[in-house]
Structure 1
Amino acid sequence: MYHNILVPISFDAERDTSGPLKLAQILATPDAKVTLLHVVEHIPNYAISYMPSEYLTEARKAIQAELDELASQLTNAKGLVIEGHSGRTILDWAEANKPDLIIMASHRPGMQDLLLGSTASHVVRHAGCAVHVVR
Structure 2
Amino acid sequence: MYKTIICAIENSDEGDQVLAKAYQLAQLCNAKLFVTHIISYTLLPSDYQKELKENAQPAIEAKAAALDIPLKNVTIKFGKAYEQICDLAESKSADLIVLGTHSKKGLNALIGSTANAVANHAQCDVSLIKI
Q: TM-score, normalising length from structure 1? A: 0.78
C-alpha distance in 2, partners of 1:113/1:94? Answer: 26
Query: Aligned-pair distance for 1:88?
Result: 1.6
Query: Aligned-pair distance for 1:126?
Result: 1.9
Equivalent residue number for residue 95 of structure 1: 90
- Between Structure 1 and Structure 2, the one with more strand by share is 1
Gaps of 5+ in 1: none
Q: CA separation of 1:43/1:28 partners in 2, compared to 1, >3 Å: closer, same or farther?
A: closer
SS at match of 2:23: helix
The number of equivalent residue pairs is 127
For 1:59, which of 44, 52, 55 is the aligned residue? 52
Gaps of 5+ in 2: none
RMSD: 2.4
Q: TM-score, normalising length from structure 2? A: 0.80
Equivalent residue number for residue 32 of structure 2: 33
Query: What one-letter code is carried by the residue in structure 2 that aligns with 1:39?
Result: I
SS at match of 1:131: strand
C-alpha distance in 1, partners of 2:2/2:125? Answer: 10
Identity of aligned residues (%): 28
Equivalent residue number for residue 72 of structure 1: 65
Equivalent residue number for residue 3 of structure 1: 3
Larger radius of gyration: 1
